Structure 1
Amino acid sequence: MYVFFTMIWAILNTFALQVIAFIDMISIIWQLIGGSVLIVLLPLVALSTQPASFVFGHFELASESTGISSKPYAIILSVLFSHFSLLGYDTAAHITEETKGADKNGPISILASIFIVSLYGWMYVLVLTFSIQNFEYLYDVNNETGGAYVPAQILYDAFHGRYHNSIGAIIFLVIIWGSFFFGGLSSTTSAARVVYALSRDDGFPFSSIWRKIHPKHKVPANAVWLCATICIIMGLPIIKVNVVFTAIISICTIGWVGSYGVPIFARLVMAEKNFKAGPFYLGKASKPVCFVAFLWICYTCSVFLLPNLYPIEWKNFNYAPVALGVCLTVIMLWWILDARKWFKGPVRNIGSDQNGKV
């Protein structure tokens, strides 16, 4: 299924750009309506709901499941839960070159995405928490989801408790799975555009191949299939080693969030006289916002490297530090030995041909 969906996303991103635009509209409708239905109906279906004191004031360490007995450490890890919903808004930045009036519409799209995902993500998390029927049963390895997928278990407990079957839970899971599909499609689009942009600047191995634009469909098809191939290769170890999935998620989040720390830090240290503001500008609030954002990036990138299960064993070890160390070592060696001799930064792309050359 993993490989199948990756191939579907790659095919759509290669041959059906107009279809993707239509699918994106369906995605918005699907997630807004489907999310609203789930948020409204789940508490009504559940036989009982947790009181607000439990949702907002109860502290459950669950050390039997995680092995973590330190409350401060648990709190440090739990703050990362906000990233559950704060995802996807950067896609608007990656496709601004294909957007009319990108200097204004790009930032507006990003802010609109942040508002929507924050609101719906917050409500989704609250609804799931209010609808918990038996907290101890959620992580029981003998429950219907093997203690591995808490949201599905909450849905199952709610519907099975009232109707004695799980059809409603399956329908709600289809809504969530649909969101996964749309998210994967957008992620493929976004990743391909990043590879294309870096290749256009000759900053990627074999850049001349990845920056080519399909003559008919006008998309970086080679970049799309490169991303799909890497995705499939990285996913294959999950078949045998579950911890690989956690490592992939951690390293991808660190790379994604950390990459934004570079221009934000540059904006913080840049002399104001050297900064030329665009049409969408925060004015005096710019640097305070950058400062808070940079601190948050430093925090999240650090915490994603920490162990989240104890005692630490090979099967639950967080391999993100190892993966990050290998990636940074390879990149720095490549820069020192080769890339610094020829990479000159971004190049002009106005009037470029299908090979990305001016």
Structure 2
Amino acid sequence: MSSDTSRNSEEKWFFSLFILTLSCPLLFGVALAPEDVFCLLYAGPASLVWGWVVVSFFTLFVGIAMAEICSSFPTTGSLYFWAAHLAGPKWGPFASWCCAWLETIGLIAGIGTQAYAGSQTLQSIILLCTGTNKDGGYFAPKWLFLCMYIGLTIIWAVLNTFALEVIAFIDIISIWWQVVGGLVIVIMLPLVAQTTQSASYVFTHFEMSPTSTGISSKPYAVILSFLVSQYSLYGYDAAAHLTEETKGADKNGPIAILSSIGIISVFGWAYILALTFSIQDFSYLYDPSNETAGVFVPAQILYDAFHGRYDSSTGAIILLFVIWGSFFFGGLSITTSAARVVYALSRDKGVPFSSIWRQVHPKHKVPSNAVWLCAAICIILGLPILKVNVVFTAITSICTIGWVGGYAVPIFARMVMSEKNFKAGPFYLGKASRPVCLIAFLWICYTCSAFLLPTYYPIDLETLNYAPVALGVGLGLIMLWWLLDARKWFKGPVRNIHSENGKV
């Protein structure tokens, strides 16, 4: 290979990494997701701002642990392959089973988080385009909100079934949308706002809202205020998948993972700071009689800034559309990933009726049945929107626990395995491996536990966090299937399990 060809390959890889990282739905989810409505309310701006820093710090340990594993398996980006190989012949199938199902649950719920966030942003756009909540603007009722949620899910499924070429083109659009739109929000919002909060307010102001949340314990409020950061900082394992067919994958894989965490951490903090510095009246953000009906904090912050400066909400509508586009791109990307994981697990007979879900469309060469299975489950998850107001909390919790929980399996296996059995790649932690893995594993356990907590008090049918119920039933059935039947025949990713350092 000539030096020019090698250089072009490296440039192409870095550009692909940049696309993947910045088209990741988590970037705008960082500070603009519906979860931010509650996390800011629990303990005020300081807890939200510093929470992002704390979560970024511990997430780096998770990324470093995964980077070492990725370096050992440079051509196989599958989490459940990593788990199967690291756990060894005896425990490999069980580790692979747990990891694969956690990842599947997390990705499918991830589609729902983007569909909900996109629908809520669209709800705010419609409201401001028709007026405001104060002067007769149209606020989409629950049935229409559910229709938007279902509509987005179906659009993503259709595109993933029939328009892979279009998706490739959308990926290019996505990076410019994210970069330009993100920079415009971060730079313009504080400049447009008539007044900005002081640094002491943003970095030191702690304010609880016990009358709204029912939570009077400061430590508990801080824990809940961290949720938006914990929800946002994952998905970086996807960057490692780009390295499977690139030169120097054992080096580029770790770079991809750690670069993703770094970029998301910096961009995310910038978004949070732009929002918090631009707050005009903290208590007014949650007033159900305000211009945006008090349901979407970023929409009210944008409205206050542009209407206060120009006596018009046009600027706010445009930036909300930028945010909506980010959720659209994110949902499309997660649908692709979810379908691939379901297809891979079905290929290894790990999903009921696997013969159906592993079928590939004869013309478009995509696992279309797996795509529509993911879409159908996502729609079912969203049906409670008609009756309860905590659907997003439940879906977000399921998504985070599944996705991040999937990371815990290979990390735990790496931590307890004999060092002589680990074939190190160029990115090797040596004696630091076990301490890093231990911190990463404990942080993941804490994160999963935090998302099982009630987020409102008193607890009733309207405020209950349904994630423990849904996960308890789902994971219980999966484990029961393993004990009664699957353990007798499931061997993990059988096509790759005998590979060494990821080379078949």
Same fold per superposition (TM over 0.5): yes
1:340 aligns to 2:487 (yes or no): yes
Instruction: Report deviation, 1:239.
Output: 2.5
Match of 1:314 among 435, 457, 461: 461
1:159 corresponding residue in structure 2: 306
Per-residue CA distance 1:114-169 (angstroms, 9 max, x = gap): 22221111100111000000011011111122222111111111111111121111
1:56 corresponding residue in structure 2: 203
1:181 corresponding residue in structure 2: 328
After the TM superposition, which residues 130-279 of structure 1 pair with which residues of structure 2 at under 5 Å, given as runs? 130-279=277-426
Q: How many residues align?
A: 350
Q: In 2, are the aligned partners of 1:107 and 1:280 still within 8 Å (CA)?
A: yes
Q: In 2, are the aligned partners of 1:91 and 1:186 still within 8 Å (CA)?
A: no
Instruction: Report deviation, 1:111.
Output: 2.6
> Partners in 2 of 1:219 and 1:94 — Cα distance?
18
Letter of the 1:325 counterpart:
G
> Partners in 1 of 2:391 and 2:231 — Cα distance?
19
More displaced 10-residue stretch of structure 1: 121-130 or 278-287: 278-287
Q: In 1, are the aligned partners of 2:343 and 2:367 still within 8 Å (CA)?
A: yes
> Partners in 2 of 1:208 and 1:95 — Cα distance?
28
Show structure 2 runs of 5+ residues with no match.
1-147, 498-503
> Partners in 2 of 1:159 and 1:142 — Cα distance?
19
Instruction: Report deviation, 1:85.
Output: 3.3
**TM-score (norm. length: structure 1):** 0.92
1:293 aligns to 2:467 (yes or no): no
Q: In 1, are the aligned partners of 2:181 and 2:322 still within 8 Å (CA)?
A: yes
- What SS does the aligned partner of 2:226 have? helix
RMSD: 2.0
> Partners in 2 of 1:224 and 1:282 — Cα distance?
38
Match of 1:73 among 220, 232, 243: 220
- What SS does the aligned partner of 1:305 have? coil
Indicate the percent of aligned positions where both proteins have the same amino acid. 75
Structure 1 residues 16 and 279: alpha-carbon distance in aligned structure 2, compared to 1, 3 A threshold: farther
1:34 aligns to 2:181 (yes or no): yes
Instruction: Report deviation, 1:255.
Output: 1.1
- What SS does the aligned partner of 1:143 have? coil
Instruction: Report deviation, 1:92.
Output: 3.2
Structure 1 residues 213 and 106: alpha-carbon distance in aligned structure 2, compared to 1, 3 A threshold: farther
After the TM superposition, which residues 94-133 of structure 1 pair with which residues of structure 2 at under 5 Å, given as runs? 99-101=245-247, 103-133=250-280
Instruction: Report deviation, 1:205.
Output: 1.0
Would you tell me which structure has more helix in proportion to its own residues? 2
> Partners in 2 of 1:116 and 1:84 — Cα distance?
16
Per-residue CA distance 1:36-84 (angstroms, 9 max, x = gap): 0100000000011111111111101122221111111111112223135
